[in-house]
Structure 1
Amino acid sequence: MTLTNGLLLLGITLLLAYALCLEWWLPRRRGNTLLQVNLLRKNRLDSVIFIVLLGIVIYRHFSGQGDPLTLYLLTFLLIATLYISFVRRPKLLFKPQGFYYANWFISYTRIRHLHLSEQGVLFIQLEKRALPIHVQHISDLENIKNILYKDQKVT
């Protein structure tokens, strides 16, 4: 196995571990999920650029009669990237003690202030920064408010 194939295999393994962590392990951590909210996707252009460049590498490798194992690994990397970029939805998971945002757990005790903008973006002010929550459906903001104010008594 060449160094290129080894690095591709390592990248694919890390990408699969990341996807498995997001879809299976994270929702089961820290108790039952009280609410799951789909968020808007960001950086779609970056994903498209990476996928196009990966497609060019696959085409060049295929037309140049390269190693078949490398071609399979590149194709699987393309499929995994398509999944991470376009199939998987970013989520906000509310748990009894806090919530997961961008794969990080944030305790309800860290919340200092909530602000809803006119564009429908919820800003959750923590100690040092504000988290912008771009929900996919505006009706989810009501569910978030019910979780935060009713169950956790956030002011």
Structure 2
Amino acid sequence: MLLTDYLIVLFIVLILLYAIYDELIMDRLHGPTRLKVLLQRRNKLDSLIFIGLLLILLYKNVSEQGPQITTLLLMALSALTAWLFWIRAPKLLLKQHGFFYANVFIPWERINAINLSEDGVLVIALEKRRLLIHVRQLDDLEKIYQVMLESR
């Protein structure tokens, strides 16, 4: 195997570890999940560019009759990338003592202010930054608000 193949295997393993964390482990961390809210997808153009670059590499490897293992690894990486960007849904997990946003746990104590913008974006101000939470359904904002009131 070439160095390229090892790097592709490394990326495949990293995406699989992320998938295990995102789908299995995060739900169990910091107690039971009180509310799970699906969020809107962001950066669709970036994902299309990345998948396009992978497909160009795949085409180049096939047309130049490169190693079959590289072709298989690129196909597996393309499938995992499609899952990561298009099938998997980003989510907000509300727990008893905080919430998971972008796979990071944030305790309730770090919240300084909560606002709702005119276009339905929940803005949570932390000590040094703001989180912009774009929910898929506006009804979920009321559920988030109720869980936050009960938890604080």
TM normalised by structure 2 equals 0.98
On the 8 A contact 2:97/2:151 being kept in 1, the answer is no
**Cα RMSD between the aligned structures?**
0.8
Q: Does 1:9 pair with 2:6?
A: no
Q: Please list every run of 5 or more consecutive structure 1 residues that lacks an aligned counterpart in the other structure.
A: none
Match of 1:54 in 2: 54
Measure, in 1, the Cα distance between the counterparts of 2:34 and 2:89. Answer: 18
Match of 2:132 in 1: 132
Match of 1:103 in 2: 103
Q: Please list every run of 5 or more consecutive structure 2 residues that lacks an aligned counterpart in the other structure.
A: none
Match of 1:44 in 2: 44
What is the percent sequence identity of the aligned residues?
47
Deviations 1:105-149 (A, max 9, x none): 000011111100110001011111111110010000000010112
Q: Does 1:80 pair with 2:47?
A: no
Tell me the secondary structure at the aligned position of residue 28 of structure 1: coil
Tell me the secondary structure at the aligned position of residue 27 of structure 1: coil
Runs of 4+ in 1 over 2 A off after TM superposition: none
Q: What code does the residue aligned with 1:122 have?
A: L
Deviations 1:72-100 (A, max 9, x none): 00000000000000000000000111000
Residue 55 of structure 1 deviates from its aligned partner by 0.7
TM normalised by structure 1 equals 0.96
Q: How many residues end up aligned between the 2 structures?
A: 152
Match of 1:29 in 2: 29
Measure, in 2, the Cα distance between the counterparts of 1:3 and 1:52. Answer: 22
